[in-house]
A and B are shown apart, each in its own frame.
Chain A
Amino acid sequence: MTAAVEEKAGDQRPRRGIGITSLEILCVLLVLAVVFQDSLASILDIPKLRTASTVFVAVCVQALPFLVLGVVISGAIAAFVPASVLRKALPRKEVLAVPVAGVAGVALPGCECASVPVSRRLIQQGVPSSVALAFLLAAPAVNPIVLVATAVAFPGKPELVLARFIGSLATAIVMGWLWARFGKLEWIAARALERLPEHTGGSRWKTFVEAIRHDLVESGGFLVIGGVTAAALNVYAKPEWLDAIGGNIALGVIVMAFLAVILAICSEADAFVAASLSMLPLLPRLVFLVVGPVVDVKLIALQVGTFGKSFAFRFAPITFVVAIACAVVTGLLVFGGVG
């Protein structure tokens, strides 16, 4: 918020004289796009590119409402929830606050795009980063909408819903604790940590709108990167890989974990995809469902944008490993085998 105000102030003075600003560039780009619309369309007439462009728009259209939900909640926290309230609501000890935050993820009915801005806001409001990160990982997987979707996709297999809930929650809590023990705050980009000034008068609504605007503009672009990546992989990933797995469970677990990362399917829909891969036993599919909401290309792009590169490139691979481990252990316990 303060950043945006400063941006404006910084923008307004040195103008005058030299003409080209982003506004003119935007206009030129738009005019060019309209003029060359036909040639653009004809490039995309290749079936493969056409499929990719549809998938790209689909990922964006699917994810944007959730991103908006996330930034609205995040903006509301910034404007209406004083930091002191959050601090009081959570247990004093970080070790206890991490699981509480994980379970609190039940209350955010959205997919992974919504939880990134919210958890960043929690950090800015003084919540310990380990606690906010546990929330970030838990929210997209343990909320009621996702669990109901999983139950619908796997009729007659309530044990899978249970396993998904436990596995995802365990991943979030383990990562929270790991971060509390080994994480370094300096890995997170400085801009994500800036505390907001406590409210001293001023309109809360102004803060609310400005926070939404700022978050949307900042993270929207990274969502688009995620969408492009997902579309490219969707076109180039070969379903034959799955046939090669055969009966090899270990291979199945690894392939499904990577598939979850590259397909970047929204956590509300991944259960349907997992259900469609019925040639595999339940365990690899559970791995797919636990890994997908916590690490995927779209989410990594959003994390890079929100928390910075040095955070995302440490956090995502470790989460990946922890998620596989949690899913496998939970699966073996709940299914009493590979399912």
Chain B
Amino acid sequence: MRRETQNILLVLLGGALLKISLNGTYLRYVKPAQLPWLIAAGVIMVVVAFVSIGRDIIAARRPLETDEHGPGHGHHHGSYSTWLLLLPVLAVFLIAPPALGEDSVNRADNRTPPPTSSEEFGFPALPAGDVIDQSMRDFVERAAWDKSGSLNNRPVRLTGFVVHKDADTYLARLTIGCCAADAYPVKVKLDGPTVETLPSDSWVQATVTYQPGTSTKESRYTPTVTVKDLKPTAEPEDPYEY
């Protein structure tokens, strides 16, 4: 592959990294802490490519320099692999894959970890208020381990997307440690009149109450909740939990 082509590929790849960093879609793929790294990497690629392009142009203007290296140019080891740099470029610019959704939740079904610690896990009291907001992760954790029953009869507002599996409907969210490749699902089973008509992967804000005793080893610590209220919501800027 020619040097010019390599440089253009580098500009495109660096540009792709900068594009997702600046328009915020990088959050579909990695966690927020990666932002400075992404920008730095994108800038370095673009700068390195432009510096070489610039130098090549200057060098081309000069009269042909005497060849410093002598014969033996057969060094053109065809690195066809460089062409593959086009794949992420096209993926980012043309397809912009969405955040993981229902398919990953069902695929990684029940890889949901029983939340962190066990037995004497003390939970702080829930804040006061009619309806409290909680992350899916906190809710599922508390449902599994809080023996004081602090969730019983407490309406909680959860934000997640809809997942259908067999006849059941779930509200789910994916948790990532580093990037979307290591995502695992956190979900609650919805119990309500019309939940099965909700379209898959649509984001909703659900006000729910925990049905005591449903988060057990048998249910893989997936609590069942009674739905009090459901309203569609936009996909949050950051679709994952951490």
Q: Which residues of B, 85-110, contact A by the 8 Å Cβ criterion?
A: 85-88, 90-92, 94-95, 97-100, 102-104, 107-110
Say what secondary structure dominates the interface of chain B. Answer: helix
A247-282 vs B, Cβ < 8 Å mask (1 yes, 0 no): 000000000000000011110111111011110000
Taking A11-B2, A57-B88, A224-B84 as contacts, is the C-beta distance between A269 and B98 under 8 angstroms? no
| Contacting pair B79 A47 (CB below 8 A) | no
Say what secondary structure dominates the interface of chain A. Answer: helix
CB neighbours (8 Å) of B178 from chain A are 62, 265-266, 268-269, 272
CB neighbours (8 Å) of A275 from chain B are 113
B77: Cβ under 8 A from any A Cβ: yes
Among the stretches A76-84, A125-133, A159-167, A211-219, the one at the interface with B is: A211-219
CA distance A278 to B116 in the complex (A): 9
B37: Cβ under 8 A from any A Cβ: yes
Taking A57-B97, A276-B184 as contacts, is the C-beta distance between A10 and B76 under 8 angstroms? yes
Q: Which residue of A lies closest to B105 (CB)?
A: A51
Q: Report the minimum CB–CB distance from A145 to chain B (whole Å).
A: 11
A-B contact count (CB 8 A): 225
Q: Which residues of A, 205-263, contact B by the 8 Å Cβ criterion?
A: 206, 209-210, 212-213, 216-218, 220-222, 224-225, 227-228, 230-231, 234-235, 239, 242, 263
B177: Cβ under 8 A from any A Cβ: yes
B23: Cβ under 8 A from any A Cβ: no
| Contacting pair A212 B48 (CB below 8 A) | yes
Q: Report the minimum CB–CB distance from B203 to chain A (whole Å).
A: 16
Cross-interface CB contact of A273 among B97, B117, B182, cutoff 8 Å: B182
| Contacting pair A61 B73 (CB below 8 A) | no
Q: Which residue of B lies closest to A24 (CB)?
A: B5
Among the stretches A1-9, A89-97, A115-123, A322-330, the one at the interface with B is: A1-9
A40: Cβ under 8 A from any B Cβ: yes
Taking A153-B177, A269-B178, A269-B179 as contacts, is the C-beta distance between A212 and B44 under 8 angstroms? yes
| Residue among B100, B111, B181 with max Cβ neighbours from chain A (10 Å) | B181
CB neighbours (8 Å) of B171 from chain A are none
Cross-interface CB contact of B76 among A7, A218, A227, cutoff 8 Å: A7
CA distance A271 to B182 in the complex (A): 10
Q: Report the minimum CB–CB distance from B32 to chain A (whole Å).
A: 13
CA distance A277 to B112 in the complex (A): 8
Taking A216-B10, A225-B84 as contacts, is the C-beta distance between A276 and B44 under 8 angstroms? no
| Contacting pair A218 B82 (CB below 8 A) | yes
Q: Report the minimum CB–CB distance from B9 to chain A (whole Å).
A: 7
| Contacting pair A53 B97 (CB below 8 A) | yes
CA distance A322 to B123 in the complex (A): 43
CA distance A213 to B79 in the complex (A): 14
| Contacting pair A220 B13 (CB below 8 A) | yes
CB neighbours (8 Å) of B88 from chain A are 56-57, 60-61, 64, 224, 227
B22: Cβ under 8 A from any A Cβ: no
| Contacting pair A54 B84 (CB below 8 A) | no
CB neighbours (8 Å) of A218 from chain B are 79, 81-82
Q: Report the minimum CB–CB distance from A339 to chain B (whole Å).
A: 15
| Contacting pair A58 B85 (CB below 8 A) | no
CB neighbours (8 Å) of B3 from chain A are 4, 7-8, 11
B26: Cβ under 8 A from any A Cβ: yes
CB neighbours (8 Å) of A25 from chain B are 5
Query: 10 closest A-B pairs (Cβ-Cβ)?
Result: A269-B178, A272-B177, A221-B81, A58-B180, A62-B179, A65-B37, A47-B103, A10-B73, A58-B29, A65-B41
Residues of B within 8 A of A (CB): 1-10, 13, 17, 20, 26, 28-30, 34, 37-38, 40-41, 44-45, 48-49, 51-52, 55-56, 60, 67-69, 72-73, 75-77, 79-88, 90-92, 94-95, 97-100, 102-104, 107-114, 116-117, 176-182, 184
